[in-house]
Structure 1
Amino acid sequence: MSVRTSGRAPGQRGELDADVIVVGAGPAGSTTAYYLARSGLTTLVLEKARFPREKVCGDGLTPRAVKQLLAMGVDINAPGWVRNRGLRVIGGGIRLELDWPELASYPDFGLVRTRKDFDRILADHAVRGGATVLQGVNVVGPVIDERSGHIVGVRARHDDGGGDEVVYRSRLVVAADGNSSRLSIAMGLHKRPDRPMGVAVRTYYTSPRHDDDYLESWLELWDGDELLPGYGWIFGVGDGTANVGLGLLNTSAAFQHIDYRDLLRRWVATMPEEWGFVEENMTGPIRGAALPMGFNRQPHYTRGLVLVGDAGGMINPFNGEGIAYAMETGKIAAEVVVQALGRATAAQRERVLRTYPGILKEMFGGYFTLGRLFVQLIGRPGVMRFATRHGLPHPRVMRFLLKLLANLTDRRGDATDRIVNALSKVTPPA
């Protein structure tokens, strides 16, 4: 990966280090950087960790994410990519296998790839597209132009630089620094309390379940006698291990009092012994992370700062999927930035950049609002129990729900596509 060690002392002025600085080399940051660099803009990505690095995730990629990988030219036929046919849903004593829908807009298969590999692959792809990626660079704050109040760079520390701050300057900065997004907070952008949050915990087990044609989702998570809003998963990684975890929503009254790691241990203890989900087969610790959903940090553009991926809360409330939306918003952001920086005056550039939040709301706002209503409903144990008991026995209903929850439709598709699209369109974005 390309590495550079240039930088200035705080306050020192000079030429720009890049047209655009991208903070974070996760899926959102690397996708943004790839498209920016391919368009001819000098692009600098600053990543605080060094690859390979851990990220808490189910490692499952729906056809929506696969479409973005194909658009970037990522070789998904290379070793290490595991294909799946659809989703296996288990609950209420029923086991149902749902193939991914056959659509013109999306491929009919999903993938599994560990985040340790996946993020590195995308970062390498950004480099091949022309971006510069610096690892081990922790961004500690913005550089603000005193006259305009706009961000014009970042202050950072290299992990091999003795702790001294350096400054990187640019025409525009993209925050792709995840859920915590310290850069966004430093610019005054805080999380909205009216948006749902989730928690995911996962680990890996050496298991014969490592090779499966379906992603597997368990819809009944019990904490004693209480049915929790969320699901457990078993995703075969194809390398002798399975990613096993669970995701929970904060719409339950019990959310603040649950020991998630203990809940995962208790859940896997109910699995068949031959699957091998026992402590001695764990290949790493149980790790957890927050899931920011439904545009929980806004606006997505302000004063020279563009938000992409988890930094802007761009996780689907219906199913907790974030990678597809990280990549999609990265591509959209890059397209807007390219158009903006091609304008002749600051006022013209600002006018273009301010369209970015509206584009996101038009594409995802109504759907995410539906998702917020959905998670509020399933936060009521009676609703969750009713949905599991009466929805799962009906494959046609479940196929409709798969399209809705995974956001997989054609614009001019069948009747279920038209229903999902109409619901998203008539629901007001917020």
Structure 2
Amino acid sequence: MRLTGSDDADVIVVGAGPAGSAAAHYCAAAGLDVLLMEKSSFPRDKICGDGLTPRAVSELVRMGVPTRAEDGWIRNIGLRAVAGGRSYEFPWPELKSYPAYGLARSRMNFDQTLAEHARATGAKLMERTNVTGPVIDERTGRVVGVTARPVDDAGRRAGEERTYRAPVVIAADGVSARMATAIGIEKSNNRPMGVAVRTYFTSPRHDDPWMESQLELWDGVPGKSNLLPGYGWIFALGDGTVNVGLGSVSSTAAATKIDYKNLFARWMENTPAEWGFTPENQIGPVRGAALPMGFNRKPLYTKGLMLIGDAGGMVSPFNGEGIAYAMQAGRAAADAVAQARVRGTDAARERALATYPEIMRRDLGGYYTLGRYFVKLIEHPQIMHLCTKYGLPRPLIMKFVVKLLSDCYEPHGGDVVDRVIAGLTRVVRSA
């Protein structure tokens, strides 16, 4: 879709996280010339739980990314929920749409793997390239490229700024969403916002086959102390370490007044000794990040600029999962760009590009709306306690909850639980 002789590529992708690398891969696979710009150099770290649900695994399968154990991937067989002094294990469901297992791998390696996969497909990966802003056509108001400059490993300027031009720019630049804000697309304050902190520990249980979710966080002995807001996770990485973190969510973008690092320390004091979460086993500091949820920044496409991943607020309000939806958005955005490339007029190309937000709203809008209602309930620790106390021991209820929270249900057909969830997502108003 190179429209002018001055273009440097058919599409520019800003950011080489899961969203950007997926978009670059699919664009390159469709025969487009792709520039994939990343301000850091690989390997580089990102704040994340490092756990991948079956939905995320299915996206890796679509991309053709190998997930062999010898390459550092570890499978998990389901979710272990811990609350009220008891634990409950729920295997991932057997579905037509997704495999019955999840994966885990540190973002340090995961992101590099996806970026290199995109490069192998044909995308030009430009590391240590800091995109400073969009280039806007004065006549049409369209985004027609970006300005960027090289930086060193510390992020310091290492060369002159230059302009790169393309008829479409895909912004995968994370929660800061600098490309979006530069053209006036602001976040919606009435959408949920999460905060997560995590660190790593060496642990004798580094190969545990379950993803563990701590649904109640107490500041002392469970049941005899204060119930803290939020939930915790323990994801085994199979390499001698585990990713341990906690998160909380607010139904609006208002900042929460929680000392997360202090909360994390109090939680660690009361975790089971067999995990080995002691100061001498901790690897690195506790680090945190914001989790933009429920399409909190829209429109997802306008005037040559597409928003994918965290830049478009695509983290699930149900569970803080963002990778599956980021990769899905990259796939959908790339398909729209590829379709636009073969249209014969500007109007037809614009119609093709405009299908991207429609597809994302159709596929995820209802689910995210349900998630917003869910957040309004669980942001209160007492309500979460009642739900875990009376819901966890009931298999049918928990089957429903696990499928709903993990987004692992059949959207068409399936069992009665699948049909109820799918029906709910259609009934609520997608926004």
Q: TM-score, normalised by structure 1?
A: 0.94
Alpha-carbon shift at residue 380 of structure 1 (Å): 2.6
**Cα offset for 1:237?**
0.8
SS in structure 1 at match of 2:285 = coil
Which of 211, 223, 244 is the matching residue for 2:207? 211
**Residue in structure 2 matched with residue 145 of structure 1 by the alignment:** 137
Q: 1:291 is paired with a residue of what secondary structure?
A: strand
- Hey, what does 2:18 align to over in structure 1? 27
Mean Cα displacement is larger for which, 297-306 or 266-275?
266-275
User: 3-state SS of the aligned residue for 1:298?
Assistant: coil
The match for 1:119 is 111
How far has the Cα of 1:273 moved from its partner? 2.9
1:89 and 2:90 equivalent? Answer: no
Query: Partner residue of 2:260?
Result: 260
Q: 3-state DSSP class of the match of 1:400?
A: helix
Residue deviations 1:226-267 (CA, integer Å, cap 9, x gap): 534531011111111110000111249996221111111110
Q: Give the length in aligned residue pairs.
A: 418
Partner of 1:70: 61
Q: Deviations over 1:372-406 (max 9, x none)?
A: 00001112333212101111111221111111111
What are the within-5 Å matches in structure 2 for residues 269-308 of structure 1? Answer: 269-308=269-308
- Which stretch shifts more, 272-281 or 114-123? 272-281
Taking the aligned partners of 1:176 and 1:255, their CA distance within structure 2 comes to 24
Distance 2:53 2:134 in 1: 35
- Among all aligned residue pairs of Structure 1 and Structure 2, give the percentage whose two residues are the same amino acid: 58
The amino acid that maps onto 1:112 is A
Q: Which residue of 1 aligns with 2:325?
A: 325
CA separation in 2, counterparts of 1:269 and 1:114? 24
**Matching residue of 1:426:** 427
- 1:179 corresponds to which of 172, 175, 189: 175
Residue 347 of structure 1 is matched in structure 2 by 347
Deviates most, 392-401 or 109-118: 392-401
Partners in 2 of 1:107 and 1:69 — Cα distance? 11
Deviation at 1:179, TM superposition (A): 0.7
Mapped partners of 2:205, 2:176: distance in 1: 33
Q: Does structure 1 retain, via aligned residues, the 8 Å contact 2:211–2:235? A: yes
Moved more, 280-289 or 142-151: 280-289
RMSD: 1.7
* Equivalent position amino acid for 1:381 in 2: P
Q: Aligned partner of 2:197: which letter?
A: V
Mark the CA change 1:244 to 1:51 in structure 2 (over 3 Å): closer, same or farther.
same
**Aligned mate of 2:98, from 82, 90, 106:** 106
Give the whole-Å Cα distance in 2 for the aligned partners of 1:189 and 1:253: 16
Tell me the SS of whatever aligns to 1:217. Answer: strand
Distance 2:237 2:426 in 1: 36
Report Cα offsets for 1:38-84 as digits up to 9, x if no partner. 00010000000110001000100000000011111111114200001
Q: Which structure 1 segments of 5+ residues have no match?
A: 1-12
Equivalent residue letter for 1:113: R
AA aligned opposite 2:387: A
Q: 1:376 to 1:226 in 2, by over 3 A?
A: farther
Q: Any gaps of 5 or more consecutive residues in structure 2?
A: none
Instruction: State the distance in 1 between where 2:415 and 2:146 align.
Output: 48
SS of alignment partner, residue 148 of structure 1: coil
CA contact (8 A) 1:94 1:392 kept: no
Mapped pair 1:132 → 2:124: yes
The structural deviation recorded for 1:174 is 0.2
- Counterparts of 1:252 and 1:362, CA distance in 2: 23
Q: CA deviation at 1:268?
A: 1.0
Structure 1 residues 212, 158: CA separation in 2 closer, same or farther (over 3 Å shift)?
A: same
